[in-house]
């Protein structure tokens, strides 16, 4: 088990190198000169452009630029973005907010998705099941920004239960609405996954055996049906954490959350290579860690799975 975890961590090194190289290359290949974004409408004098290119290593060929960046990373210096701010500081500012938002969304979608899915699965074909299915279909079909603006307008502007936007402090109560919007689509998927999985397992032999043994209905459902049905759901949730962290661009935009998605979006527009690569690398690390966690959860959910 320990060896397995160590091996997985070692595997992260080539993932890190490959991902940074690839992303750096993609940003490098974006059309347009990065100094043009800094200089704006008015443009700068050639001397200023030359100064900027030197300051951000833009005058070097691609591979040297990448190696300089890598050297910085290995000495714990991520450099500065095109506004002259340390990238490490920016990441420290925005990651906690987005992590909070993503975790809240994940908890919401997991709890509600599994509970609703379980109930729907056990009452297959009944009214509750059918209405939940229709509802989840609607949620999946309607684009997320429509839902976002709609909920912002109803709850924030009309009912005034909460502020329409999130302040700089990004408190727990402020983040509830964005988290609901962010987790909504995944909630529908979790619900449907759980439901299907439950329906499959409810008729399995071991469940009939458990019932025949005289176990209470509650124990049969929770310990035998649900636990075995969670494997696909956990896989989905693990992958979803990464998506929630990096894919919150739309939701963060609607609710003015100062998070990873917004920062990444701006950095891409400005061709700010080191900034984009640093954020994406962090996201990749989170993704890899989440996947490792999922793999370890498998063993707990299904004792037949062993790692060595």
Partner 1 sequence: MRYTRSSTMLSVAAIAVLALSACGSDTDSSSDGGGGGDTEAVIVVDGSEPQNPLIPTSTNEVGGGAILDLVFAGLVSYDADGKSQNEVAESIETEDAQNYTITLKEGQTFTNGDPVTANSFVDAWNYGAAAKNAQLSSYFFESIEGYDEASAEGSTVETMSGLEVVDDQTFTVKLAQPESDWPLRLGYSAFYPLPAVAFEDTAAFGENPIGNGPYMFASDGAWQHNQQIELVPNDEYEGPQEAQNGGVTFKIYQNDTTAYQDLISDNLDVLKTIPTSDIKNFKNDLGERSIESPYAGNQTIAIPYYLPNWDGEAGKLRRQALSMAINRDEITEVIFSNGREPAKEFTAPVLDGFNPDLPGSENLEFNPDEAKKLWEQAEELEPYDESEPLTIGYNADKGDHKTWIEAVVNNIKNNLDIEVSGKPYATFKEARTDATDEKLTGALRSGWQADYPSLYNFLGPIHATGAGSNDSRYSNPEFDEKLTEGLAAESVEEGNEMMNEAQEMILEDLPAIPLWYQVAQGGWSNNVDGVEFGWNGVPLYYAITGK
Please identify, using beta-carbon distances, which residue of 13 and 47 lies nearer to partner 1. 47
Query: To the nearest whole angstrom, how small is the minimum distance from the Cβ of residue 247 to partner 1?
Result: 16
Please identify, using beta-carbon distances, which residue of 13 and 159 lies nearer to partner 1. 159
Q: What is the largest CA-CA distance in the chain?
A: 85
Instruction: Name which position in 10, 47, 74, 308 contacts partner 1 (CB under 8 A).
Output: 47
Query: To the nearest whole angstrom, how small is the minimum distance from the Cβ of residue 304 to partner 1?
Result: 48
Query: To the nearest whole angstrom, how small is the minimum distance from the Cβ of residue 211 to partner 1?
Result: 53
Joined together, the tokens standing for residue 227 give 């636990």
Instruction: Name which position in 11, 55, 171, 216 contacts partner 1 (CB under 8 A).
Output: 55
DSSP string of 116-134?
Answer: HHHHHHHTTTSHHHHHHHH
- Rounded to the nearest 10°, the torsion over CA 246, 247, 253, 258 is -20
Range in contact with partner 1 (rule: CB under 8 A) among 17-25, 48-56, 70-78, 178-186: 48-56
Please identify, using beta-carbon distances, which residue of 30 and 285 lies nearer to partner 1. 30
Site for partner 1 in 148-187 (CB under 8 A): 149, 152-153, 156-157, 160, 163-165, 167-168
Q: Does 87 bind partner 1 (CB under 8 A)?
A: no
Residue 294: HSE in the Cβ half-sphere, 13 Å Cα cutoff: 19
Site for partner 1 in 88-147 (CB under 8 A): 90, 93-94
CA gap 40, 60 in Å, rounded: 23
Range in contact with partner 1 (rule: CB under 8 A) among 171-179, 193-201, 268-276, 281-289: 268-276
Instruction: Name which position in 21, 38, 207, 297 contacts partner 1 (CB under 8 A).
Output: 38
Q: How many residues in the shown chain lie near partner 1 by CB under 8 A?
A: 51
Range in contact with partner 1 (rule: CB under 8 A) among 39-47, 182-190, 218-226, 281-289: 39-47
User: What are φ and ψ of residue 80, in 5° steps?
Assistant: -120, 160
Instruction: Name which position in 197, 263, 278, 281 contacts partner 1 (CB under 8 A).
Output: 263
Please identify, using beta-carbon distances, which residue of 46 and 61 lies nearer to partner 1. 46
Instruction: Name which position in 15, 26, 30, 207 contacts partner 1 (CB under 8 A).
Output: 30
Q: Does 211 bind partner 1 (CB under 8 A)?
A: no
Site residues for partner 1 per CB under 8 A? 30-34, 36-48, 50-52, 55, 82-85, 90, 93-94, 149, 152-153, 156-157, 160, 163-165, 167-168, 252-256, 258, 262-263, 269-271
């Amino acid at each position: 088990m320990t060896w397995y975890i160590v091996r997985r961590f070692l595997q992260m090194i080539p993932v890190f190198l490959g991902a940074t190289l690839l992303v750096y290359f993609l940003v490098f290949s974006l059309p347009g000169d990065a100094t043009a974004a800094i200089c704006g409408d008015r443009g700068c004098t050639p001397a200023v452009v030359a100064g900027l290119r030197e300051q951000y290593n833009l005058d070097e060929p691609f591979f040297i630029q990448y190696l300089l960046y890598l050297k910085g990373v290995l000495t714990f210096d991520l450099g500065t973005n095109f506004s002259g701010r340390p990238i490490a500081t920016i990441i420290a500012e925005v990651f906690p907010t987005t992590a909070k938002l993503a975790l809240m969304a994940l908890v919401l979608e997991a709890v509600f998705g599994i509970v609703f899915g379980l109930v729907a699965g056990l009452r297959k074909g009944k009214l509750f099941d059918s209405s939940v299915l229709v509802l989840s279909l609607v949620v999946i079909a309607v684009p997320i920004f429509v839902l976002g603006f709609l909920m912002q307008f109803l709850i924030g502007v009309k009912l005034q239960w909460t502020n329409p936007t999130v302040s700089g402090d990004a408190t727990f109560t402020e983040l509830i609405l964005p988290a609901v919007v962010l987790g909504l689509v995944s909630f529908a998927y979790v619900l449907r996954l759980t439901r299907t999985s439950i329906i499959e397992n409810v008729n399995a032999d071991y469940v009939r055996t458990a019932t025949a043994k005289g176990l209470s209905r509650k124990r049969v459902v929770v310990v035998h049906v649900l636990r075995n049905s969670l494997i696909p759901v956990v896989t989905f949730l693990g992958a979803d954490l990464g998506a929630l962290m990096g894919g919150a661009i739309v939701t963060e935009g609607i609710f003015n959350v100062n998070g990873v998605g917004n920062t990444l979006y701006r950095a891409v527009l400005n061709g700010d290579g080191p900034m984009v690569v640093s954020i994406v690398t962090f996201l990749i690390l989170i993704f890899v860690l989440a996947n490792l966690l999922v793999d370890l959860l498998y063993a707990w959910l299904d004792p037949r799975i062993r790692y060595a």
